[in-house]
């Protein structure tokens, strides 16, 4: 390609420059409109078209529920209602934000009640002791023939006695309808004062003194029996340890503490008497089992360590209890 000379360049450039200067302002405006990327000045720009505000969905109303404090709430949940600006700049209600309640604490287990202390084992029911029929005995208007005959036999034995009024304690059960108080147990055999017995027991004691004790004293000591010292006769009480009434409660028992001889010797009843005294006491004790239904003395139990106990307790088939 031939190089363009300077003079030729000038011939081409000058017409172009002149054409440029001939462009009018209206042409320039037209030119600017046609330019795709041109933005018109603010003074000439058209007002912006207003956009239709976006429609916000309104939540359906929830049923009103009263909470535990008495205030109403939607389903017992608190709502956080906040206003957000809409597309046109105005505040529009926003769907309430549901606040998730904190998780409920697990219910604490109720403390178990303290274990009840074990109950003591029940005591076996005590066998009820039937009432003694003798407790209901009361004196009749006239003394029975059996009592009259007993008194006649005592007089024949030389026993001195006196009548006593009836003894009865309904609360405890003690009773002697026809008691007597002994002064002697026969000829020259005295007995301690206040010996109150029923007639049958008094007769048994008088016969035993005359038939057993007096001969044993004479055989062992060569003396005569002078006094039988009683420790107990009628006493309104139950047996030791409770339960049944004592035979003393019916004047049906006699406790003997010692024997006094005509030579002034006293033979006491105890767990360890002298040899000769012990021999005599053993003879009396063995002989008593038969005439009396119960015989107790030293060695049988602590309550009878210092006396003999004789009684006429009625036993089955006429049996005896001797220790």
Its pTM surpasses 0.85:
no
- Residue 246, pLDDT > 90, answer yes
Specify the pLDDT at position 69.
45
Helix H or strand E segment including 226: strand 225-232
Q: How far apart are CA 199 and CA 250, in angstroms?
A: 11
Secondary element (H or E) of residue 244: none
pLDDT (tens digit, 9 = 90+) per residue, 9-34?
A: 556 655 555 545 444 454 545 444 44
DSSP 112: P
**For residue 322, how many other CB atoms are within 10 A of its CB?**
16
The CA-atom distances, in angstroms, between 154 and each of 28, 185, 192, 203, 206 are 178, 9, 17, 6, 8
- Look at residue 197 and tell me whether its pLDDT is greater than 60: yes
What pLDDT does residue 96 have?
A: 54
pLDDT computed for residue 8 by the predictor: 60
Looking at residues 277-293, what average pLDDT do you find?
Answer: 97
DSSP 210: I
CA terminus-to-terminus distance, the chain:
172
Distances (CA, A) of 285 to 14, 37, 253: 183, 154, 15
pLDDT at residue 309, as a whole number: 97
* List of long-range contacts for 277-280, beta carbons under 8 Å, 24+ apart: 279/220, 280/216, 280/217, 280/220, 280/221
> How much of the chain, in percent, has pLDDT values that exceed 70?
60
Give the Cβ contact number of residue 262 at 10 Å: 15
Which residue carries 């000591």 as its tokens? 221
Check: CB of residue 77 under 8 Å from CB of residue 113: no
Which of 46-60, 101-115, 175-189, 300-314 has the least mean pLDDT?
46-60
Q: How far apart are CA 103 and CA 155, in angstroms?
A: 109
Is the pLDDT assigned to residue 44 strictly greater than 50?
no
Q: How far apart are CA 143 and CA 134, in angstroms?
A: 16
Q: Which helix (H) or strand (E) holds 30?
A: helix 25-34
Let me know how many helices (H) and strands (E) the chain has, helices first: 6, 17
Query: Please, what's the b/e burial string for 269-292 (b: 16 or more CB within 10 A of its CB; e: otherwise)?
Result: bbeebeeebeebbebbbebbeebb
291: tokens are: 């005439």
- Tell me the longest C-alpha to C-alpha distance in the chain: 206
Residue 42: pLDDT band (50, 70, 90) is very low
Rounded distance between C-alpha atoms, residue 300 and residue 113, angstroms: 55
Count of positions (residues) in the chain: 323
Rounded to 5°, angle at Cα 47 from 41 and 50: 140
Mean pLDDT of 85-92: 52
Per-residue pLDDT, 34: 44
Where does 97-255 have alpha helices with state H?
Answer: 145-156, 199-208, 214-221
Q: Which residues are registered as beta bridge partners of 64? A: 74
In angstroms, the CA 284 to CA 308 distance is 10
Residue 120, classed as helix, strand or coil, is coil
Query: Do residues 245 and 238 touch, judged by C-beta distance below 8 A?
Result: yes
């Amino acid at each position: 390609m031939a190089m363009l000379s300077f003079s030729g360049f000038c011939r081409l450039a000058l017409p172009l420059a002149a054409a440029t200067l001939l462009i009018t302002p209206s042409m320039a405006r037209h030119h600017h409109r046609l330019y795709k990327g041109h933005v018109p000045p603010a003074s000439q720009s058209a007002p912006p078209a207003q956009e239709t505000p976006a429609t916000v969905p309104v939540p359906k109303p929830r049923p009103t529920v009263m909470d535990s404090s008495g205030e109403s709430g939607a389903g017992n949940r608190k709502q956080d209602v906040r206003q957000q600006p809409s597309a046109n700049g105005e505040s529009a209600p926003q769907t309430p934000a549901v606040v998730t309640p904190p998780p409920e604490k697990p219910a604490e287990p109720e403390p178990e009640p303290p274990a009840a202390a074990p109950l003591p084992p029940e005591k076996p029911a005590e066998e009820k002791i039937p009432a003694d029929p003798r407790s209901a005995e009361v004196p009749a208007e006239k003394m029975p023939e059996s009592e009259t005959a007993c008194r006649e036999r005592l007089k024949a034995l030389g026993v001195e006695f006196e009548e006593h009024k009836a003894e009865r304690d309904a609360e405890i059960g003690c009773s002697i309808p026809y008691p007597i108080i002994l002064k002697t147990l026969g000829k020259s055999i005295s007995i301690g004062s206040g010996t109150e017995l029923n007639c049958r027991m008094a007769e048994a004691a008088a016969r035993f003194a005359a038939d057993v004790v007096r001969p044993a004293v004479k055989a062992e000591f060569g003396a005569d029996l002078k006094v039988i010292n009683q420790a107990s006769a009628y006493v309104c009480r139950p047996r030791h340890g409770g339960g049944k009434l004592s035979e003393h409660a019916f004047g049906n028992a006699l406790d003997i503490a010692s024997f006094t001889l005509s030579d002034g010797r006293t033979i006491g009843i105890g767990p360890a008497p002298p040899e000769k005294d012990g021999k005599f006491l053993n003879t009396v004790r063995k002989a008593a089992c038969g005439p009396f239904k119960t015989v107790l003395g030293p060695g049988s139990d602590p309550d009878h360590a210092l006396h003999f106990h004789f009684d006429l307790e009625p036993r089955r088939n006429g049996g005896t209890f001797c220790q």
